[in-house]
Amino acid sequence: MQKRTLGNSGLEVSALGLGCMGLSYGYGPATDTADAIKLIRAAFERGVTFFDTAEAYGPYKNETLLGEALSPFRDKVVIATKFGFNFGPDGGQSGMNSRPAHIREVADAALKRLNTDVIDLFYQHRVDPDVPIEDVAGTVKDLISEGKVKHFGLSEAGVRTIRRAHAVQPVAALQSEYSLWWREPEQDILPTLEELGIGFVPFSPLGKGFLTGAINEATTFDSKDFRNVVPRFSAEARKANQALVDRLGEIARDKGATPAQIALAWLLARKPWIVPIPGTTKMHRLEENVGGATVQLTADDLAAIETALADIKVEGDRYPAHLQARVDR
The residues near 34 (Cβ < 8 Å, ≥ 6 apart) are none
Per-residue pLDDT, 198? 99
Task: Report how far apart the first and last C-alpha atoms of the chain are (Å, whole number).
Answer: 35
Name the helix (H) or strand (E) containing 165.
helix 159-168
Pair 217, 295: CB distance under 8 Å: no
Torsion of CA 204, 327, 173, 139, to 10 degrees: -140
Q: Is residue 178 part of a domain?
A: yes
Per-residue pLDDT of the chain (329 residues; tens, 9 = 90+): 999 999 999 999 999 999 999 999 999 999 999 999 999 999 999 999 999 999 999 999 999 999 999 999 999 999 999 999 999 988 899 999 999 999 999 999 999 999 999 999 999 999 999 999 999 999 999 999 999 999 999 999 999 999 999 999 999 999 999 999 999 999 999 999 999 999 999 999 999 999 999 999 999 999 999 999 999 999 999 999 999 999 999 999 999 999 999 999 999 999 999 999 999 999 999 999 999 999 999 999 999 999 999 999 999 999 999 899 889 97
CATH number at residue 171: 3.20.20.100
3-state secondary structure 233-299: HCHHHHHHHHHHHHHHHHHHHHHCCCHHHHHHHHHHHHCCCECCCCCCCCHHHHHHHHHHCCCCCCH
d(CA 85, CA 96): 4
Total domains present in the chain: 1
pLDDT in tens, 39-74: 999 999 999 999 999 999 999 999 999 999 999 999
Q: Is residue 267 part of a domain?
A: yes
User: What residues make up the domain containing 214?
Assistant: 3-324
Catalytic pick from 25, 57, 60, 123?
A: 57
How many CB atoms sit inside 10 A of residue 316's CB?
A: 15
Full-model pTM: 0.98
Strand segments (E) across the chain: 3-5, 12-14, 18-19, 50-52, 78-83, 85-87, 93-96, 119-124, 149-155, 171-177, 199-203
Q: Is residue 329 part of a domain?
A: no
pLDDT in tens, 105-118: 999 999 999 999 99
The vertex-59 CA angle with 143 and 224, nearest 5°, equals: 150
Active site residue 319: no
Pair 96, 130: CB distance under 8 Å: yes
Q: Is residue 297 part of a domain?
A: yes
Q: Is residue 266 part of a domain?
A: yes
Q: Specify the 3-state DSSP secondary structure of 18.
A: strand
